[in-house]
Every structure is written in C-alpha cells, then in structure tokens.
C-alpha cells in the first residue's frame, strides 16, 4: 500500500496516489490532523488533545468533539476500514497517526537540512538543499500556526 503524504508547508493537504484531501469537517479537525502529523511519531493523550483543541468544552463535550473529528478523519483516510492500513491509531487513552502509513513534508524537510550540512561535496550539498527548497511551499499550515495549536 502506498503511504499517505501529509503536506503541511504552505497549505494542509493529504495525498495518496491520485487521491487528494484538502477539505476537512471543521478547521479544528484540520488543525488536529496537522498537529498529529507534526508530531507523527508521538502518541497523544486524549485529555491533552481535548484541552488543546476544545478548551472551552467540558470533558464529556470535549470527548464527543474529539470523537467526531477522529471519525471524520477516518472516513476520509480509511473508507474501507482495514486495520492493517489504519491511518489513525487510537485507543481509550491516546491518539496518533500511524507512521507506518503516513509521511510528512515537514519530516522530509527536517531530514534534508542536516543532510546538506553533512554533505562532503558541493554537488551533494546542492542536491540536499535543492530537495529542501522543493519541499518548502510556505510556513507550516496557516490555521495550525495562527491558532497556536
């Protein structure tokens, strides 16, 4: 299976083969995806996500909002719901994106810069910097950075 590629630099977009997702249920759902993608290799406690994205809600209302957002993302990324292809890994306590099936342009960008500094030749350095420049399409997802998530 081809991995999902979440683009965060410039605009939020998810791509897998010919499928592209650019619209999300709500801005908070989009911001949740961006947050999980930026922290791709980390599981997040549900209570922390609720406090971050729905601070105005009580715990029960926040749990419901988080559930709705995760369900909406699952419908977009996992329409056939095969466990082996799960994009969202969630249990009663935590949520994260599956780094086995998701990559991000931010992670690729962060790898390209150190590769340039380790390069032995000018050609290697230019190639690594060229890769970083090609990936950079603007600041990290605007709604994500503007709202302070």
Nearest-5° Cα angle at 69, 68 to 75: 90
123: closest CA among 115, 136, 87?
Answer: 115
Name the percent of the chain lying above pLDDT 90. 57
pLDDT tens digits, 49-78: 999 999 999 989 999 999 999 999 999 998
Predicted TM-score (pTM) of the model is 0.79
Q: Say which CATH topology domain 4-104+140-146 has.
A: Arc Repressor Mutant, subunit A (1.10.10)
At what angle are helices 27-38 and 46-53 packed, to 10 degrees?
A: 130
Strand partners, 9: 140
Locate all alpha helices (DSSP H) within the chain, ordered by sequence. 27-38, 46-53, 59-77, 105-118, 122-135, 142-146
Over residues 4-43, the pLDDT tens digits come to: 999 988 889 999 999 999 999 999 999 999 999 999 999 9
Domain ranges of the chain: 4-104+140-146, 105-135
């Amino acid at each position: 299976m081809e991995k999902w590629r979440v683009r965060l630099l410039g605009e939020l977009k998810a791509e897998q083969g010919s499928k592209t997702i650019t619209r999300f249920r709500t801005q908070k759902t989009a911001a949740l995806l961006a947050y999980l993608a930026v922290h791709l290799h980390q599981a997040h406690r549900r209570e922390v996500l609720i406090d971050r994205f729905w601070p105005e809600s009580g715990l029960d209302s926040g749990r419901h909002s988080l559930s709705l957002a995760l369900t909406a993302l699952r419908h977009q990324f996992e329409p056939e719901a095969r466990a082996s292809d799960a994009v969202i890994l969630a249990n009663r306590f935590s949520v994260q994106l599956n780094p086995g099936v998701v990559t991000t342009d931010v992670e690729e960008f962060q790898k390209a810069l150190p590769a340039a500094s380790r390069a032995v030749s000018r050609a290697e350095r230019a190639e690594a910097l060229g890769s970083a420049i090609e990936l950079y399409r603007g600041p990290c997802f605007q709604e994500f950075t503007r709202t302070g998530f």
